[in-house]
């Protein structure tokens, strides 16, 4: 069972990917993690990726797909995997599709965790984190006992730059331009499944399990 997770930043697809991986005993494959592992282990692919990253350039799609295919060719992926954070663009999806076809393989499900922009802005701009112990809160859903103060260690809570409303809106703009077209791409392939991401994460997961069977 090969699954691609789709959804805007903050839609909760990473959380769902981890839950799917745990339930079905398949790896949660995050491209960020693979890059870090390859660079840390000094592999040839890692060195190649690092040469781009050191210049502040994006790693080319073809190399990203090679690193990804190297990861999913490992024994723990024999029963399948959940891809999180890749593909992000149509060219990446096309390269991945072409390479999988050569291996007589394909993506079985593309699950789109659908959340309207205004919900995401509310969800992310309400996040607060503790710079001292790493605890996270939400001013509406998981507020600290005392406003602006961490329950665990008493440090002052901060809003990460990533979670500021302007940043969230910019990230959504990039998502709509580059990543949202993947929804049509996978719909045409007949593997797209939409789930309502505005409900509780357990309900989202129950809907996904129903799809995967």
CA atoms lying within 13 Å on the CB side of residue 19: 16
What angle in degrees, to the nearest 10, is found between the helix axes of 61-72 and 44-53? 150
Is 156 within 8 Å of 149 (Cβ atoms)? yes
Q: Which residues are catalytic?
A: 13, 88, 127, 160, 171
CA atoms lying within 13 Å on the CB side of residue 173: 6
Q: What is the DSSP string of 92-146?
A: HHHHHHHHHHHTT----EEEEEE--HHHHHHHHHTEEE-TTT--EEETTTB--SB
């Amino acid at each position: 069972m090969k699954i691609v997770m789709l959804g805007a930043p903050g839609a909760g697809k990473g959380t769902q990917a981890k839950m799917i991986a745990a339930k079905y005993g398949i790896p949660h494959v995050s491209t960020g993690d693979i890059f870090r592992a390859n660079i840390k282990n000094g592999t040839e692919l890692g060195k190649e990726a690092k040469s781009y990253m050191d210049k502040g350039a994006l790693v080319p799609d073809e190399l990203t797909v090679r690193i990804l295919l190297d990861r999913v060719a490992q024994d723990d992926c024999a029963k399948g995997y959940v891809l999180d954070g890749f593909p992000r663009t149509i060219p990446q999806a096309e390269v991945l599709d072409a390479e999988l076809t050569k291996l007589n393989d394909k993506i079985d499900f593309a699950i789109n965790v659908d959340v309207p922009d205004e919900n995401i802005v509310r969800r992310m701009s309400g996040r607060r984190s503790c710079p001292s112990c790493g605890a996270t809160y939400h001013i509406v859903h998981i507020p600290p006992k005392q406003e602006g103060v961490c329950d665990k260690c008493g440090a002052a809570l901060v809003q990460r730059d990533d979670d500021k409303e302007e940043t969230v809106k910019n990230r959504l703009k990039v998502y709509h331009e580059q990543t949202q077209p993947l929804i049509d791409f996978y719909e045409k392939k007949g593997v797209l499944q939409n789930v309502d991401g505005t409900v509780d994460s357990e309900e989202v997961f129950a809907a996904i399990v129903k799809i995967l069977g």
